[in-house]
Structure formats: structure tokens, C-alpha cells
């Protein structure tokens, strides 16, 4: 029964990887900024799904809460509050140079990934080091919701007040 589970996990990984890459490419290609922002949210959510498959639930929650939940929503609000968004999507004379630079950076990234030595942790990892990987997310969550809950709530209220203030500033009289 174990090989079926691994095959299903591998299928889910490749599906989420394809969604991530496809949405990321569409973010760059799509001309409508609002749709690009929604595709960015979809890409970030599928990265969170990959984190779940890797048993990194804490990173998945952080990915959803911070990136998909806060930054992408901020981008959507910025697009919604910007006037003449279609006018801002015109072609630029530096587009070929930007595409060339992006291709060069992609090539350098692929070369770096291919040349790197990807060593995994050995099987005989000492117990204190292995405990760091198991206990750290739970300890961080406990500290965040027990010892530092006041600072966490103050930061949330402060960010909420900043969004309300920004909306009040850009609102038409």
C-alpha cells in the first residue's frame, strides 16, 4: 500500500509544481493587472500546498497568512484603488532588454542549481539536532500565542489601522 501513497504524493507534487509555474508565467504574461494579482495568489497558494507535501506545515501556514493573505491582498487593493490601470499597462521600449536580462538570470539560476552539491542530512543525525527540526515549529507557535500574544495582536491592529488610513487617504472627497 505504501507505493500507491508515494505515487499519489508524487502526482500531487507535480500537479502543484505545474500550477505554481503556470500561474507564475501567467502573472508575467497577462496584461490585466487584477488578473495578474489573482494569479499571484494562486501561485503562492500552490507553493503552500508543496510545503504541506513536504511536512512543513508551519511554512505552509506562514506562506498562506503572510504572502497569499496579506501581501497579495494588498496588491489587489492597490490595483483596485489605482486609476487608469489599463493605461499603465502599455508596452515599454525597454521590454526587450528586460526580457533579455530575465533570460540571462534564469540561465544563471539553472546553471547554479545544476552545479550545486545537494547533500541530504545523514541518517545518523544526533538527537539534539534532529529535535530542532521536529520541535521548533511547535515551540514557535506556543511562544507566539502565549508569551508574545500581546505583541502579535498589537502588530495586527497596527497593520489594520495602516490599511484603513491608506484607504482614507486615497478616497475621493
Q: Please name the residue that has the C-alpha cell 533570460.
A: 103
Q: How far apart are CA 131 and CA 142, in angstroms?
A: 16
Domain covering 7-89, topology: 1.20.120
For the stretch 108-133, pLDDT in tens is 999 998 888 776 666 677 777 767 76
pLDDT tens-digit map of 15-70: 999 999 999 999 888 887 778 888 888 998 999 999 988 888 878 888 888 887 77
Which cell goes with 129?
539536532
- Greatest pairwise CA separation for the chain in angstroms: 67
* 118 to 51, 109, 115, 121, 160: CA distances (angstroms): 19, 15, 9, 10, 42
Closest by CA position to 54, among listed 109, 114, 12: 12
- Percentage of the chain surpassing pLDDT 90? 20
Amino acid at each position: 500500500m505504501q507505493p500507491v501513497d508515494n505515487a499519489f504524493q508524487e502526482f500531487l507534487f507535480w500537479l502543484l509544481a505545474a500550477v505554481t509555474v503556470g500561474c507564475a508565467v501567467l502573472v508575467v504574461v497577462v496584461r490585466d493587472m487584477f488578473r495578474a494579482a489573482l494569479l499571484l495568489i494562486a501561485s503562492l497558494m500552490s507553493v503552500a500546498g508543496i510545503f504541506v507535501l513536504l511536512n512543513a506545515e508551519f511554512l505552509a501556514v506562514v506562506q498562506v497568512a503572510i504572502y497569499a493573505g496579506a501581501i497579495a491582498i494588498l496588491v489587489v487593493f492597490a490595483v483596485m484603488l489605482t486609476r487608469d490601470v489599463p493605461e499603465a499597462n502599455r508596452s515599454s521600449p525597454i521590454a526587450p532588454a528586460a526580457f533579455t536580462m530575465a533570460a540571462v538570470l534564469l540561465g544563471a539560476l539553472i546553471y547554479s542549481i545544476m552545479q550545486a552539491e545537494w547533500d541530504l542530512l545523514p541518517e545518523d543525525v544526533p538527537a539534539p539536532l534532529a529535535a530542532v527540526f521536529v520541535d521548533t515549529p511547535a515551540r514557535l507557535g506556543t511562544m507566539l500565542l502565549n508569551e508574545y500574544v500581546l505583541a502579535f495582536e498589537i502588530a495586527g491592529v497596527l497593520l489594520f489601522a495602516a490599511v484603513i488610513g491608506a484607504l482614507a487617504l486615497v478616497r475621493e472627497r
